[in-house]
Amino acid sequence: MNFPLQQAQGPDRIGQSTAVEQSRAVAEVQAAIYVARQFPRDVGRSRAAMQAACGSLSLAEKAFYKFPRAGGAVEGSTIHLAKTLAQTWGNIQYGVSEMRRDDQYRQSEMQAWAWDVEANTRHVLTFIVPHAKFAKGKVEALIDLRDIYENNANNGARRLREAIFAVIPDFFIGEAEELCRETIAKGDGKPLPERIDGAIKVFQQLGVNADRLEQKLGRPRAQWNGADIAQLLITHKSIQRREIAVDEAFPQARITGSEIKKNAGGGKQQTPPDEDPWAGEPPK
């Protein structure tokens, strides 16, 4: 006997908490649009707030990143600067969330977004994050839940930075980056010689001597300026955040002429002809 197939019926009602959440989300969007129209951004005020923020050394030191890529290095602005610019530009909402985690395939589906409520411009990035990392020339699977969380958070922060920068004007971003670099170059008000000595001491703690710093900048320390110190500071912050390794950031120390001659001689020093090589040793 054949029985007619009936389509499975879903629930004919939604729960109270779901209905409340849906209503809250709709009301929140409507309220955001209403407030943005009632209080439109003032570009002059936004620029003043941005300039004040970028004049702070605490922000400027975290404004840039640097990491190795294809034999070179990639530099850019960090998520810290992106969030600050979103706040100063005004009427922008942003966020990042893990939409789904698939432990069987070891990956997470995530979404980062930024929304200019006033201009009604929204940039959304949906992406897959494998539960793995590339280390020591190979891909290693992530098992620990904390490692997976940190990996998702790092990937989400990078996409969120892209989303925020996509809805903020280029002139605003460019001016902020320039001001941050100027702030780093000025430093904390100490004389330039003191800042140079401080930079050398900081890198000595990482095993990098002054010769390698001079090679990196292409001139001796006596000719360094504020921009050079700023470049070293950005590199130091990237090393601290493990974005770049020390050996990748700095070339090895120069080999002097005396060392070349020493290596050519097999590492043995030549004895002058008027000197007895066996002086002071007992005869055999």
Q: Please report, as a single letter, which amino acid is at residue 73.
A: A
| Same domain as 172, residue 34 | yes
| Same domain as 122, residue 245 | no
Q: Residue 163 sits in which domain range?
A: 24-176
Residue-level pLDDT at 126: 95
Residue-level pLDDT at 138: 83
Residue-level pLDDT at 275: 45
Domain assignment present for residue 79? The answer is yes
Residue-level pLDDT at 59: 92
Q: Which pair of tokens denotes residue 166?
A: 């996509």
| Same domain as 194, residue 166 | no
| Same domain as 123, residue 47 | yes
Residue-level pLDDT at 96: 95
| Same domain as 102, residue 34 | yes
Domain assignment present for residue 279? The answer is no
| Same domain as 208, residue 135 | no
Residue-level pLDDT at 284: 43
Which residue, among 239, 187, 186, has the nearest Cα to 208 in the 3D structure? 239
Q: Which residues of 246-262 are buried (b: 16+ CB within 10 A; e: fewer)?
A: eebbbeeeeeeeeeeee
| Same domain as 139, residue 28 | yes
Please report how many Cα atoms fall inside a 13 Å half-sphere around the Cα of residue 142, on the Cβ side: 21
| Same domain as 134, residue 82 | yes
Residue-level pLDDT at 127: 95
Distance separating the N- and C-terminal Cα atoms of the chain = 113
Question: Residue ranges of the chain with pLDDT lower than 50?
Answer: 3, 5, 10, 267-284
Q: Give the list of residues 6+ apart from residue 183 with CB closer than 8 angstroms, or none.
A: 54, 55, 56, 57, 60
| Same domain as 219, residue 163 | no
The C-alpha atoms of residue 190 and residue 202 are separated, in whole angstroms, by 16
Contact 47, 30 (CB under 8 A): no
Contact 147, 129 (CB under 8 A): no
| Same domain as 155, residue 34 | yes
Q: HEC profile for the chain?
A: CCCCCCCCCCCCCCCHHHHHHHHHHHHHHHHHHHHHHHCCCCHHHHHHHHHHHHCCHHHHCCCEEEEEECCEEEEEECHHHHHHHHHHHCCEEEEEEEEEEECCCCEEEEEEEEEECCCCEEEEEEEEEECEEEECCEEEECCCHHHHHHHHHHHHHHHHHHHHHHCCCHHHHHHHHHHHHHHHHHCCCCCHHHHHHHHHHHHHCCCCCHHHHHHHHCCCHHHCCHHHHHHHHHHHHHHHCCCCCHHHHCCCCCCCHHHHHHHHCCCCCCCCCCCCCCCCCCCC
